[in-house]
Amino acid sequence: AKQQGRNNFQYYMAPEKTEAQIERFAMEAMLRKALERDELLVYYQPRIHTKSEKVVCVEALVRWQHPTLGVVPPKDFIPLAEETGLIVQLGEQVLRKACAQIKKWQDDDIGLDELSVSVNLSPLQFRQQHLPAVIARILRQAGLKPQYLELEITESAAMQNVNRNILMLRELKEMGVKISIDDFGTGYSSLSYLKKFPIDALKVDRSFISGIHEDPDDAAIVNAIIVLAKTLKLKVTAEGVETEEQYLYLQQHHCDEAQGYLFGKPMPPETFEEWLKLNMTEPDLILSPEN
């Protein structure tokens, strides 16, 4: 009977797995349709130069405008897009939209002279041999100069297959685009490789910023990363700045740029334009709702 029970147990486990698979297939099909129907939106979050307090860059962050589900955040579809390879097409759409938007803002003269955009690259995109050609084509079609595009790659993607990555990064760099390491401090960076990488900037992960005033270790880590960046002649940006105290700390410790809810959440283009108008007349940077 015990044996039987066990078998029954296994028997009833199987359909659940299938259900999950069906759901996954359905999601994949929906995502594929979303790409065809152009349901992806790009939101923009300001990055503030801590010395001048000006917006120097915006990070492009994808959203999925689903017809019935509403606005879906990246954590709910990026992993699936990665697994299925759809991320390559998705990433190209984001790049295309972001480059066109920045070019438009530059042409419309919205009050920012040297506005750049940073775009997240998935590890799979980064492994595409023809990535530099794809990016060159997108920049050409958008009419955007390469120096206004920054590509964010994660530490773990950068540290895999290092020798090949150095060649890839060099090729991108020769085109004139900028490269930053995202979520820095959460992966396993080898400092000797970091030194060899032709990169421009480090983005300190949000998890360290949030602890600046609660955990002395976090403050020490943030400071160490800033000093490391300076030593390697890299620009350093803090992610996830939510409080005035955190921002002050970063300013005092010469962190070049800050990004976070304190200044603004990721916003659709029209909302960003409104945010910018408000913040250019009001001296104090304010919080804005995400919509």
Q: CA 234 to CA 202: how far, in whole Å? A: 7
Long-range CB contacts for residues 271-277, cutoff 8 Å, separation at least 24: 272/44, 272/46, 272/58, 273/110, 275/46, 276/46, 276/55, 276/110, 276/111, 276/112
User: Taking CB under 5 A as the rule, does residue 155 contact Mg ion?
Assistant: no
Residues 196-235 that bind Mg ion (CB under 5 A): none
Q: CB within 8 A of 43, min separation 6: which ones?
A: 60, 61, 62, 63, 266, 267, 268, 290
**Can you read off the two tokens belonging to residue 42?**
């790009």
The CB-of-60 to Mg ion minimum distance in angstroms stands at 9
Query: In 73-215, which ranges are continuous DSSP H helix?
Result: 78-84, 86-108, 123-127, 131-142, 155-159, 162-175, 191-196, 206-209
The CB-of-263 to ligand C2E minimum distance in angstroms stands at 9
Residue nearest to ligand C2E (CB): 260
Give contact residues for ligand C2E (rule: CB under 6 A). Answer: 45, 61-62, 73-75, 78, 87, 91, 94, 120, 122, 152, 182-183, 206, 239-242, 259-261, 266
User: Taking CB under 5 A as the rule, does residue 183 contact Mg ion?
Assistant: yes
Choice between 111 and 160, CB closer to Mg ion: 160
Choice between 92 and 182, CB closer to Mg ion: 182
Choice between 31 and 241, CB closer to ligand C2E: 241
User: Taking CB under 5 A as the rule, does residue 257 contact Mg ion?
Assistant: no
User: Taking CB under 5 A as the rule, does residue 152 contact Mg ion?
Assistant: yes
Q: Which does 78 bind (CB under 5 to 8 A by kind): ligand C2E, Mg ion, none?
A: ligand C2E
SS3 190: coil
Q: Which does 74 bind (CB under 5 to 8 A by kind): Mg ion, ligand C2E, none?
A: ligand C2E
Q: CA 136 to CA 89: how far, in whole Å? A: 16
Choice between 142 and 157, CB closer to Mg ion: 157
The CB-of-268 to ligand C2E minimum distance in angstroms stands at 12
Residue with tokens 């809810």: 261
Q: CA 152 to CA 172: how far, in whole Å? A: 12
User: Taking CB under 5 A as the rule, does residue 120 contact Mg ion?
Assistant: yes
The CB-of-261 to ligand C2E minimum distance in angstroms stands at 4
